[in-house]
Structure 1
Amino acid sequence: MEKQICENCKRECIKHSKGMCTTCYKKLIWKPKLRECKRCKRRLPHHAKGLCNGCYNTLFNLEKAKAYNYKKWHNVDLELYRKVTKQCMVCGFDKIVELHHLDKNKKNNSENNLIGLCPNHHKMIHQAKYRKEIIEQLNIILKQQGLPIFEDDRKIFL
């Protein structure tokens, strides 16, 4: 095939379509087909596996980053983190749940040492004003679940 001059960028190239090179054609003429995303149901350009670009990255790349960050920040694998932070142990709130170490030792990541608390109860357990009330509630719940209760709250929750 002989090379010709692109009508748009004036470079010598092999013409693709409508008198333009491949690069100019993709920039100016070609429009991706819009499809309904399987996850978010919006009509957007298809990326892969029936998903738009945002949903694809969320499902396949964000999960890897979360697993890496949980391991780095809490030294806990993703499955244990999700199991512990399913809901707040005190009130049952499940939208935002933080990880709390019962013995105040962040290196002790046994399942019996970790509990999930909502931001309100997590803040309250670290403040002396509310500590006793939250510990009483936690001890009742821990006793029901067959886990050890805590007698000396000063040693554990400072």
Structure 2
Amino acid sequence: MDKSSKDKRSKIMRAIKSKDTKSEVLLAKALWKRGHRYRKHNKSIFGTPDLSFKKYKIAIFVDSEFFHGKHWDIVEKRPKANAEFWQKKIERNMQRDDEVNVFLIQSGWTVLRFWSDDIRKNLYTTVRTIEKHIAEIHDRIYFE
């Protein structure tokens, strides 16, 4: 059972951002500081990645654990209130993520997805992973 009233829960859920979340801003600033130039929420790229490097065809998505179904296979972690609604919503989000991944990969893009918590806990590792992909693609483009 939800501990908050219906109005309070509605207010809380409305306040959740879909763009420029703390994790996304943290990652973007870290990449910018290291000299990487990217585009945010580029609508010309299928799936509208949170960050993208069009030159290298790299699409980066920062996924929240709740809305993108991290640990969705663990039933105890699923919402109890309005369970049917959340199950449909989150499972559709997961399906959409897969569709976006498949389309972009088939179009020659590298798709990188990171969980918000992983970015906050391991920012340096996340940035290095992205830099590794940039370097590999850069070398492939310019030295082959």
Instruction: Give the TM-score, by structure 1 length.
Output: 0.25
Structure (1/2) with the larger helix percentage: 2
**Which structure would you say has the larger Rg?**
1
Identify the structure with bigger relative contact order (alpha carbons < 8 Å, sequence gap 6+).
2
